[in-house]
Amino acid sequence: MERVYVPATLANLGSGFDALGVALALYLEAEAEPAESDRFHYSGEGYVPDTPDNLVHEAFRAAFARAGEAAPPVEIRLFNPIPLARGLGSSAAARVAGAALADRLLDGRLGREGVFAVATELEGHPDNVAPAVFGGFQLALAQPLTHVPLAQPDGLRFVVAVPGQPLATAQARAALPAQVPHADARYNLARAALWAAALAQGRLELLAEAARDRLHQPYRLELMPGAAEALEAARAAGALAAFVAGAGPSVAALTDAAASEVVRALADYAGPEGRLLTLSIGGGLTWKAT
Ligand SMILES: Nc1ncnc2c1ncn2[C@@H]1O[C@H](COP(=O)(O)OP(=O)(O)OP(=O)(O)O)[C@@H](O)[C@H]1O
Ligand SMILES: N[C@@H](CCO)C(=O)O
């Protein structure tokens, strides 16, 4: 039996829309074994039906197709602690898991690069997939497919406020305009580059500005009542950076050692039906034969 572990991820980091992402130390676990027909057993966050018509099996089949082989029937068991449709990269983790399970059964023929390629094609953007596969902070492009690790200063953690209600990525993308003012594009270019430069030099005081964004957050915050105030509260409480988690509706704040004030600042936004997660930065995809 083959087992894989795939981290949750935060895409965009505010300014790096569809380009920047980071892995979190919260891991989906999935295992596969040969079976007479496709079977799926889901446990963990939310509800996903136990049918073979799911993102994991889809990625498994796509990975075999990339290797030029027909996918064998498999039984996939999955434990998923990543909240669904909350901006923590659950769909990317599911797709990476499916492709990685296939890669294990193909004796590693696709490798991490192949898993990255399969999952990015299915996901449509690489910013969750790159950190899910390679870990830490990543810069990624879909065309040409590229990933570059960014520096990772020690001791950083993310406080993530996860509301009780989901917001599907498709809905959050539909809220974006087809065109943006040139001034907004310029605003984001400098700030996305600032993430890379500030992390490389350990200049954490620059990250608050690096995370600011005009390309997607202003539109998405309209769908997320209370989120704009939560981001301001996190900044005022000393967060190093604060931004919408992926496509939302969660919000994330980067902190160093003392996070209790930031946790308090985000508690109202999580609300009684949501939760607050404090997570360190995760490694990428791992696996073991069991
Ligand atoms: N482990 C899984 N197994 C099967 N389907 C999953 C799994 N995880 C997520 N999904 C599907 O993906 C959907 C969520 O994907 P969506 O892209 O909307 O949000 P997300 O990936 O959690 O957030 P974001 O992309 O903003 O980080 C779920 O509602 C579910 O249908
Ligand atoms: N870059 C993507 C991440 C969410 O999947 C978005 O913001 O829509």
Which residues are documented as binding site? 83-93
Ligand 1 contacts (CB < 6 A) are 11, 42, 48, 54-56, 78, 80, 84-92, 94, 128, 168-169, 246-247
179 and 114 fall within a common domain: no
Which residues are documented as binding site for ATP? 83-93
Quickly state the pLDDT bin for 173 (edges 50, 70, 90). Answer: very high
**Domain interval for residue 212:** 157-280
Q: Which of 120, 128, 223 gets mutated to test ligand 2 (max ligand atoms within 8 A of its CB)?
A: 128
CATH code of 52's domain: 3.30.230.10
Q: State the ligand closest to the CA atom of 92.
A: 1
* 25-8-118 Cα angle (round to 5): 130
d(CA 17, ligand 2 centre) in Å: 7
10 and 146 fall within a common domain: yes
Q: Is the pLDDT of residue 257 over 80?
A: no
The rounded distance, in Å, linking the Cα atoms of 154 and 281 is 9
6 and 119 fall within a common domain: yes
Beta-ladder partners of 42: 78
Contact yes or no for 98/88 (Cβ under 8 A)? no
Q: Which of 13, 17, 176 gets mutated to test ligand 2 (max ligand atoms within 8 A of its CB)?
A: 17
pLDDT of residue 162: 98
CATH code of 225's domain: 3.30.70.890
Ligand 1 atom 25: the closest Cα is on which residue? 89
pLDDT tens, position by position, 220-236: 999 999 999 999 999 99
95 and 219 fall within a common domain: no
ipTM over the 0.95 cut-off? yes
Quickly state the pLDDT bin for 1 (edges 50, 70, 90). Answer: confident
The rounded distance, in Å, linking the Cα atoms of 80 and 83 is 8
120 and 45 fall within a common domain: yes
CA nearest 145: which of 123, 177, 174, 176? 123
Q: Is the pLDDT of residue 258 over 90?
A: no
What percent of the chain is predicted at pLDDT more than 90? 96
Q: Is the pLDDT of residue 114 over 80?
A: yes
Mean pLDDT of all residues in 100-126: 98
Domains of the chain: total: 2
pLDDT of residue 290: 82
241-244 and 251-255 beta bridge pairing: antiparallel
Selected residue with higher pLDDT from 208 and 51: 208
pLDDT tens, position by position, 68-103: 999 999 999 999 999 999 999 999 999 999 999 999
Q: State the ligand closest to the CA atom of 89.
A: 1
pLDDT of residue 42: 97
Mean pLDDT of all residues in 32-53: 95
- Taking the CA of residue 24 as centre, how many other CA atoms within 13 Å lie in the half-sphere pointing to its CB? 29
What is the radius of gyration, based on Cα positions, of the chain?
A: 18
User: Torsion angle, CA of 145/151/153/156, rounded to 10 degrees?
Assistant: -10
Quickly state the pLDDT bin for 195 (edges 50, 70, 90). Answer: very high
CA nearest 239: which of 251, 224, 225, 223? 251
Check whether the bond before 153 is cis (ω within 30° of 0). Answer: no
Contact yes or no for 3/31 (Cβ under 8 A)? yes
Q: Is the pLDDT of residue 46 over 90?
A: yes
Q: Specify the pTM.
A: 0.98
Ligand 1 atom 11: the closest Cα is on which residue? 91
Contact yes or no for 254/278 (Cβ under 8 A)? no
81 and 168 fall within a common domain: no
6 and 145 fall within a common domain: yes
Ligand 2 contacts (CB < 6 A) are 11-12, 17-18, 125, 127-128, 169, 173, 216, 246-247
Distances (CA, A) of 213 to 23, 93, 191: 20, 25, 8
Ligand 2 atom 7: the closest Cα is on which residue? 247
48 and 84 fall within a common domain: yes
* Average predicted confidence (pLDDT) for the chain: 97
Mean pLDDT of all residues in 43-62: 95
CA nearest 229: which of 260, 168, 189, 271? 271
144 and 19 fall within a common domain: yes
Quickly state the pLDDT bin for 259 (edges 50, 70, 90). Answer: confident
For residue 130, give the 3-state DSSP assignment.
helix
37 and 165 fall within a common domain: no
